[in-house]
Structure 1
C-alpha cells in the first residue's frame, strides 16, 4: 500500500489538476487543491480535499498557502505545478502586457511555488516537484509562439532544477501532454479574438485556427495525463519526463527527422489545406 503523501496542486479548478486531485484523493493522499476559482473545487472538497484560493502571480499569497500547509501537516511531500493558460495569436500581435502576464502565470508562477516549497524539502532531504510542461516545450507552430516560449522556458528550468536538487533527496519531473480536450483551447482562442492583428495574417489565422480546432476535436481527454501525474507522485523513482499523448511522442521525433524548415512547411501546408476545404 502506498504511503499517504501531502500534495499541493495548483490550477486544480479544472483540467489536469482537477482530475489528478480526484485520483490522488481516491488513493488516500492528503490533497491541497488550489486555484483562483475556489467555487469550481467544491466537488473536490466534498471528496476530502482542502481547497484554498491561490493566485500564482501573488508572491505573498503563495507564501501564505505554503506556510499554512506546513503548519497544518508539518510537510509538503509533492508540489504539482499545474497552473497555466494559453494565449494564442501571431507573435507580432500579442502586446507586451499580455506577454508579461502569460510568463507571470506560466513561468514565474512555477518559480514562486518552487522557491516556497524547496527550503522545506531541503530541510527534510525529501520531496517531489512535478511541473506541467507540454509538447510545445519541443515544437512550436503559428499562433502558439508565445505560449510555446513559456513551455520552452519551463523545460529548460526543470532540467536544470532536476540536476541541482538530485543529491538533496528531491525528484523533479516534467509532464508533457500534447493536444488534449480540457477547455484550454477555448480560452486560448477567445484570447486571440481580443488581439489587434494586422489583416496580412488573416489567411494564416483562419487556416491554423481550422487545423487546430480539428486537431482538438479528435484529441484525447485529460485521463492519460492525470494518470501520469499520479504515477509520478507514487513512484519511488519517477521518470524524468512523462509524455502522455501519442502526438507528444511523435511530433518532436518527426521534427528531428525532417528538420526545422520541412517541419514548418508541414504546419503551413496543413493550414492551407483547411482553407481549400472550406
Structure 2
C-alpha cells in the first residue's frame, strides 16, 4: 500500500484515478478546492483534503497534514490544471499568468514541498499530468500549450535531479479525452474573441471543439486512470506515457512533417 496525493481530484480524470487507486488498496488523499465535489470519494475510501494550488500556504498545510497523519508521501500525482483558449492578442495577460500559476507554478510549489520527505524516505514517485499538447500546438491554444511545453521541460529536468535520491518522475500525455475540458476551453475561446479581429475563426474553432468533445471519437477517461495506476504499480515507471485518441499519430506527424504542412493540417482540422 502506498500513500498517494492526487490534485484536481474533484472531477474528471483526477476523480476517476483517485477512486481506482483507492480500490487497488492504496491510501489516497484527493485534493481540490471544491470540497463538496470531493465528498463523494469518501464512500470509496479516498480522503478528501482542501487545496488551492495557487496558494503556497495552502500547499504547505496540505503536505504537513498528510505527513502528520501518515509519516510519508510515496506518490504525488500532479493532475490539477485547466485549458483556456484564445488568440494571443485577445487573451489578457492576467489570464495567461493564471494558466501558468495553476498548470506549472502551483505544481512546482507542491512538488518542492513533497521532495524533502521523499528524499528522506530515499524513495518516491512524481507523476505529472501533461498532454499531447506538450509536444505540439493547436489553433488558438497558445497559452495552454505554453504551460504544457513548460511542464515537459520541468519534468525532464526534475527527473535527472532527483534520480540519485531514489525518486522517479513520469509524464502522462493524454490525447483527446472525453471530459468537460474541451467544452470549457471552447467557451473560453468564444468569449475571448467576442467583437474582435479573430471572432469568426475563433467561433468556428470553438464550434469544432464542442462537436469533437461531445461526439464519440474521444477516448474514455478511464484509459488515463488505468495508465496512471499502471505507472503507480509498475516496477519501473516509464519517463512518458503517450495515450488516448490521436496522441501517438499526431505526435508522430508533428515529428516528420514540415512545420508549414503540420500547421495547415491543424488549422484545417480546427
Q: Which of the five TM-score ranges fits, normalised by the shorter chain?
A: over 0.9
Q: After the TM superposition, which of the residue ranges 120-129 and 205-214 deviates more from structure 2?
A: 205-214
Residue 124 of structure 2 corresponds to residue 131 of structure 1: no
Paired residues of 1:14 and 1:40 also in contact (CA < 8 A): yes
1:60 aligns with 57
Report the 3-state secondary structure (helix = DSSP H, G, I; strand = E; otherwise coil) of the residue aligned with 1:195. helix
- 2:141, 2:190 → 1: CA distance? 14
- 2:119, 2:171 → 1: CA distance? 20
2:142 aligns with 145
Point out 4+ residue stretches in structure 1 off by more than 4 angstroms. none
Unpaired segments ≥5 residues, structure 1: 272-278
Normalised by the length of structure 1, the TM-score is 0.93
- 1:183, 1:215 → 2: CA distance? 11
Paired residues of 1:178 and 1:244 also in contact (CA < 8 A): yes
- 1:190, 1:215 → 2: CA distance? 14
1:73 aligns with 70
Residue 18 of structure 2 corresponds to residue 21 of structure 1: yes
2:34 aligns with 37
Q: What CA RMSD, in Å, does the superposition of the two structures yield over aligned residues?
A: 1.3
Shift of 1:198: 5.4
- 2:26, 2:9 → 1: CA distance? 15
Paired residues of 2:38 and 2:48 also in contact (CA < 8 A): yes
Unpaired segments ≥5 residues, structure 2: none
Q: After the TM superposition, which of the residue ranges 197-206 and 227-236 deviates more from structure 2?
A: 197-206
Paired residues of 1:19 and 1:223 also in contact (CA < 8 A): yes
Per-residue deviation, residues 75-95 of structure 1 (Å, max 9, x unmatched): 000000000011011111110
- 1:222, 1:210 → 2: CA distance? 22
1:274 aligns with none
Shift of 1:36: 0.5
Paired residues of 2:130 and 2:173 also in contact (CA < 8 A): yes
Q: After the TM superposition, which of the residue ranges 193-202 and 94-103 deviates more from structure 2?
A: 193-202
Q: After the TM superposition, which of the residue ranges 213-222 and 234-243 deviates more from structure 2?
A: 213-222
Residue 152 of structure 2 corresponds to residue 155 of structure 1: yes
Per-residue deviation, residues 41-78 of structure 1 (Å, max 9, x unmatched): 12211211110110100100100100110011010000
- 2:201, 2:262 → 1: CA distance? 16
Paired residues of 1:133 and 1:155 also in contact (CA < 8 A): yes
- 1:140, 1:198 → 2: CA distance? 25
Report the 3-state secondary structure (helix = DSSP H, G, I; strand = E; otherwise coil) of the residue aligned with 2:125. strand
Paired residues of 2:189 and 2:203 also in contact (CA < 8 A): no
Paired residues of 1:134 and 1:175 also in contact (CA < 8 A): yes
- 2:75, 2:176 → 1: CA distance? 25
Shift of 1:214: 3.1
- How does 1:239-250 map onto structure 2 within 5 Å? 239-250=238-249
Residue 192 of structure 2 corresponds to residue 192 of structure 1: no
1:165 aligns with 162
Report the 3-state secondary structure (helix = DSSP H, G, I; strand = E; otherwise coil) of the residue aligned with 2:191. coil
Aligned partner of 1:178 among 156, 175, 178: 175
1:276 aligns with none
- 2:212, 2:258 → 1: CA distance? 22
